[in-house]
Amino acid sequence: MQFIDLALIHIRSGTGGSGCSSFRREKFIEFGGPDGGDGGKGGNVVIRAVSNLNTLIDFKYKRHYFAKNGRPGMGQNKTGANGDDVILNVPVGTEVLLENKKTVLVDLIHEGQQYVIAEGGNGGWGNSRFKSSTNQAPRQANKGHSGSELTLWLKLKLLADVGLVGLPNVGKSSLLSAMSNAKPKIGDFSFTTLTPNLGLVSYKQGDFILADIPGVIEGANRGKGIGIQFLGHIERCQVLVHVLDISSNSLISDFEVTINELKQYKSDLVSKIKCVVLNKVDLMKNKKIEKIVESFNKSGIEVFPISTFSRVGINELKDSLLELLKKNNRVEAKTNGRTGKWSPI
């Protein structure tokens, strides 16, 4: 299924039904009086988060959603039927924004959470509502109120516990495959991963969601490459893991490029980077690996030398991530979500 994380839709809630102007006409009842019923309420447009979706592809092919109008009132004080609501099911983690792409109406981060984004118009009053001591036979009845019409953006930000970030072709997809049940596309060339991938990591009676984000290159925050399209997906991650190719000739430069791009996109993302993974250690000698790890450790960064090919260091990384997530949850509980910022450089 194609991954779509941004969609433009047009919605309209239902118009309320008109009130009825009617009088009671029965045998032996000379002055029956007004009996016009009220119009029904127009349908609402409701958006709801569900767990069995992970893309906005449905909204790519259908962009207009109109709720039903309320039915008009009838004689004998019969109220018109309400218009049917339109319910839009979206993935958990979807933001609803106005047409300007800046004003957020609602952020749906919990399964089953729903929000009325356009309320239907009220039905008009029938003439029986206008009866008074001075006007026993009113002929006045109201029209129903118009519904709301909006153009909205739906923006999906995936919900994951841990996100993998780094340059293209450093082994993020291979690491996702080695740690979880996901089967992403893997290849020995840049930008093999074109869309985010999610996997469930189950380990030692604990589990968490791991996300693989397409590679971020220098200039990504200005729109270069494809990484900028998906940086929003790591905003919700509790922990970020910076993946590096230990065989690179410019290891420190690679490290700094990703850090700088995250800072330029959103400064607090860097504080979520809790460890660095040095991948492809099977391509280097142990002495050189130890020297590189030592240089990172001197900077106070927790480093995990691994190999997704030989599975070296994978379990140690899982242990650390589980512990980080448990610790992070405790810290959030104590500080009501305000955690201290930490930067690796």
> If residue 114 lies in a helix (H) or strand (E), which one and from where to where?
strand 114-118
The verdict on residue 295 lying in a domain is yes
Q: For residue 234, what is the domain's CATH number?
A: 3.40.50.300
Q: How far apart are CA 319 and CA 303, in angstroms?
A: 13
Of 156, 188, 212, which residue sits at a domain end?
156
Of 130, 156, 182, which residue sits at a domain end?
156
Q: For residue 101, what is the domain's CATH number?
A: 2.70.210.12
Strands 6-12 and 149-156, bridge-based pairing: antiparallel
Is there a contact between 276 and 303 (Cβ–Cβ < 8 Å)? Answer: yes
The verdict on residue 210 lying in a domain is yes
pLDDT at site 146: 95
Pair 117, 82 in one domain:
yes
Pair 24, 143 in one domain:
yes
Q: How many domains in the chain?
A: 2
Domain containing 113 equals: 6-156
CA neighbours within 13 Å on the CB side: how many for 197? 23
pLDDT at site 48: 95
pLDDT by residue for the chain (345 residues), tens digit each?
Answer: 467 888 999 999 999 999 999 999 888 887 888 999 999 999 999 999 998 888 898 898 899 999 999 999 999 999 999 999 999 999 998 999 999 988 999 999 899 999 999 999 999 999 999 999 899 889 999 999 999 999 999 998 877 888 888 888 888 888 888 888 766 555 544 445 557 778 888 888 788 888 888 767 655 444 554 555 667 777 888 888 899 888 888 888 888 888 888 888 877 888 888 889 898 888 888 888 888 888 777 767 788 898 888 888 899 988 888 888 888 765 555 444 444 443 333
Pair 118, 137 in one domain:
yes
Q: How far apart are CA 337 and CA 328, in angstroms?
A: 10
Residue 124, phi then psi, degrees to nearest 5: -75, 160
pLDDT at site 294: 82
pLDDT at site 341: 41
Q: What is the pTM of this model?
A: 0.71
Pair 283, 319 in one domain:
yes
